[in-house]
Amino acid sequence: MKSIQHSVHTLSPKQVHINDHFWSQYQQLVKDVVIPYQYDALHDRVPDAEPSRAIRNFEIAAGRQDGEFHGFVFQDTDVAKWIEAVGYALMLSPDPQLEQMTDDVIALIAEAQGEDGYLNTYFTIKEPDQRWTNLVDCHELYTAGHMIEAGVAYYEATGKRQLLDVVCRLADYIDEQFGPEPGQMRGYDGHQEIELALVKLYRLTKEERYLKLSQFFIDERGQAPNYLEQEWEKRGRYSFYGGKPQERINLEYCQAHQPVREQKVATGHAVRAVYMYTAMADLARLTEDERLHEACRTLWRNIVDRQMYITGGIGSTRHGEAFTFDYDLPNDTIYSETCAAVGMVFFAHRMLQLEPRAEYGDMMERALYNNVIGGMSQDGKHYFYVNPLEVWPAASHHNPDREHVKPVRQKWFGCSCCPPNVARLIASLGQYVYTSDEETIYTHLFIGSESTLSVKGADVTVQQTTNYPWDGNTSFSFQMEQSLSFTLALRLPGWCQKGQLLVNGQIVDYAAMLRDGYVYIQREWSATDTVEWRLQMDVQVLYAHPELRANAGRVAIQRGPLVYCVEQADHGDQLASLAVMTEASLEAYYDSSLLGGCTVIKGQAIREQNVDAEHALYRLQPPKRVEQAFIAVPYFLWGNRGEGEMSVWLRKA
């Protein structure tokens, strides 16, 4: 077992200024559209939308007005995630007006905090005596976690301490209540989140107690006797959501069925799972806990080798928004929640900090370029929660087993978890591009940007220029005080069959420099040096593992990091009757007029057609087979041309 690298520098989004067309557009959308829109929503000012009441809850809790609590028990997190996204947006560019609006919200939050540090409008308003009595259902620590992430991000963006002070007091209070000492609760939240948030708070404040508290929550989880089960027995087996006493408590759902180091298989609610794995990887690195690292590796392998959609999505059923079991990845009754793919990006990012292995970068990229951005429309106002790999709109409308699969994106405020999650990821995307340690700058994502990284005690500004994901050529240049000897590590993506490396225009044979999927270029770099990393971006036909029954006899098309799909808009309906012909027929071209400009893949297919309008449902006569051209478009752009069928996996003729 390798020893854990704990000297990795965790980047702040501030250090990376994204300036390529592809991602700048998304970041601008978040800043110009999503954040103002969400502000109005939180203040119940969006016409025709169900009021959020999230701000109003804080006003009531702060005593500024009278009234009843409204919304989910975790309604506060909508405000927290908005502030976090604002923090990242302010790192992109200053905006005094936005900052003032946010300061006002933060002042309100501070007023709603209890004398003891407690902060949660649901319990403050509605059940002040019931704090910490139903950890499995009530998201109290989860809500605290999101507030902590907001406090950290906003401080990093602005240097303003008010919210940071609030969340430190909150964390201090939680640290008093929870722990192994007599009089403390040995509990943990039903929805993991605070664990990764406390790591961020520790990273910023260097306060060891926060790290230890995170560790406590992770270590306690699933230990016998089971805290959540005892708590549930104590309240008569009732759920917070009412109904009769429950026959059993589903501990797998919240990954509390076993101590985390013994968990081998990803199970239960997918978002809870990956948020927890993210914190586990953080802690494995910071506490040099090899067993925890090993558990992360095992869970990673289980997801990536057996429970992940080709788009980087996770969650095979809507029941519990959950993992099911190995190789069970139905394309049609899928869940694959946007938030879970965001969580996969977090988990991959933390695994990269433990070990620079290209497969972590590959998966981060896979989730990001397909499931995550596919979750948002190009206007920034419509979202998918469920990201299917096969859509038949009539089934979404008329078959209850598929009604959770929406054939078009919904207004983002319909439910509140995914839209701000995408927003905060996109606004903070810079931090995922690189990591560095004392000797090496690791390049994980190919995104046009200017970044300031620290290596060998010096600041190096790295310029990355690329047209990714449309082509695979990226060039790098550097600015620094004086020439410096360090290593530039470039990810060789798993999808790339042939790369070409040029340093200062000279082709370099990188075979001997390749380790775990990264090419390590060690030299004395100066401001005149250029590196070109040319990744040949072929159209690829992918097959699924034969155990993945849903895709037997089918193929998916991929080019670079992008998974492709076919849509009814280009072919009419009955996409199931299309079967892709040989790979040789596939060809990529850029179509500037389609979907805002994208690389399209065209090919030849066999289409099965009904014979002579035969009406019999079952018949001896095979369908007529005609050859026809087809085009596939990037998955992340599907559903932008009205309601229609869509399919990622196509039959192979």
Interface residues with a copy of itself (CB under 8 A) are 304-306, 308, 310, 316-320, 324-325, 328, 330, 332-333, 392, 394-395, 398-401, 540-550, 552-553, 556, 574-577, 579, 608-610, 614-623, 651
CB 232 within 8 A of CB 39: no
Residues 6 or more apart whose CB falls under 8 angstroms from that of 597 comprise 590, 591
Residue 135 Cβ vs a copy of itself, minimum distance, rounded to whole Å: 24
Q: Which residue type occupies 326?
A: D
Is the Cβ of residue 381 or residue 404 nearer to a copy of itself in the bound state?
404
Is the Cβ of residue 553 or residue 642 nearer to a copy of itself in the bound state?
553
Is the Cβ of residue 199 or residue 273 nearer to a copy of itself in the bound state?
273
- Catalytic-role residue among 195, 321, 390, 645: 321
- Catalytic-role residue among 168, 296, 417, 565: 417
Q: How far apart are CA 317 and CA 323, in angstroms?
A: 7
Is the Cβ of residue 96 or residue 622 nearer to a copy of itself in the bound state?
622
Residue 558 Cβ vs a copy of itself, minimum distance, rounded to whole Å: 8
Residue 305 Cβ vs a copy of itself, minimum distance, rounded to whole Å: 5
Burial (CB count <10 Å: 0-12, 13-18, 19+), residue 327: middle
Is the Cβ of residue 30 or residue 586 nearer to a copy of itself in the bound state?
586
Which among 150, 59, 163 has a CA at the least distance from the CA of 110? 163
Asked about 417 being catalytic, the answer comes back as yes
Residue 619 Cβ vs a copy of itself, minimum distance, rounded to whole Å: 6
Q: Within 10 Å of residue 34's Cβ, how many Cβ atoms? A: 26
Q: What is the number of alpha carbons within 13 Å of residue 544 lying toward its C-beta? A: 28
The single-letter DSSP state of residue 8 is P
Residue 542 Cβ vs a copy of itself, minimum distance, rounded to whole Å: 5
Is the Cβ of residue 307 or residue 421 nearer to a copy of itself in the bound state?
307
Is the Cβ of residue 6 or residue 397 nearer to a copy of itself in the bound state?
397
Is the Cβ of residue 224 or residue 616 nearer to a copy of itself in the bound state?
616
Angle 415-419-424 from CA coordinates, rounded to 5°: 140
Q: How far apart are CA 479 and CA 529, in angstroms?
A: 9
Q: How far apart are CA 557 and CA 85, in angstroms?
A: 34
Burial (CB count <10 Å: 0-12, 13-18, 19+), residue 398: exposed
Q: How far apart are CA 291 and CA 87, in angstroms?
A: 35
Residue 395 Cβ vs a copy of itself, minimum distance, rounded to whole Å: 6
DSSP string spanning 372-401?
A: IHHTB-TTSSEE-SB--SEE-HHHHHH-GG
Asked about 296 being catalytic, the answer comes back as no
Q: How far apart are CA 587 and CA 377, in angstroms?
A: 26
| Beta strand extents in 219-288 (DSSP E only) | none
At residue 449, φ and ψ (nearest 5 deg) are -170, 165
Residue 261 Cβ vs a copy of itself, minimum distance, rounded to whole Å: 23
Give Cα 366 to chain centroid, integer Å.
11
Give the containing element (helix H, strand E) for 504: none
Residue 333 Cβ vs a copy of itself, minimum distance, rounded to whole Å: 5
Token reading at 533? 């990393």
Which among 494, 541, 546, 542 has a CA at the least distance from the CA of 327? 546
The single-letter DSSP state of residue 114 is -
Q: Tell me which residues are annotated as active site.
A: 321, 417
